[in-house]
Amino acid sequence: MVQYFNTNVRSEIQQSANQIRQTVTSLVDNAVMKSDIQITPTGIQLGSGKYVNGETISSMLVANPDSIKAITKLMEVSGNLLVNGSITADKMAANSITAALLKSCIGRE
């Protein structure tokens, strides 16, 4: 393990036969900020979070051979999003939707 310290910042690199992990933690305006990346044979986990006033706010991206999972309060995509498959949602809002085929279940129970 390799660690580096400053007054309000700490970075750490850990490596073993089956894992590499890098972490940076800092104190910014009474909030503890932390970002890390972990690489294992089964996948990659990338996360960032903060702890302020007893509340933890974080986002995470987890990739493994079968899927990629984004865990976050807000995910912003700039540019085009191409989906070759289905989109499932409890709610969807849009200014306009253009589609060759659009099915609705409104009124069906």
User: In the numeric block, which tokens belong to residue 107?
Assistant: 């009124």
Kindly list the distances between the CA atom of residue 64 and the CA atoms of 2, 44, 76, 90, 93, in Å, as whole numbers in the listed order: 26, 7, 22, 25, 30
Judged by DSSP in three states, 103 sits in coil
- Give the helix, strand, coil percentages of the chain, each rounded to 5: 0, 50, 50
Q: What is the pLDDT of residues 19-33, one digit of tens each?
A: 999 999 998 888 899
Judged by DSSP in three states, 16 sits in strand
User: In the numeric block, which tokens belong to residue 103?
Assistant: 């099915």
Q: What is the pLDDT of residue 109?
A: 58
Q: What is the pLDDT of residues 74-107, one digit of tens each?
A: 989 899 888 888 888 888 888 888 888 877 777 6
pTM of the model: 0.72
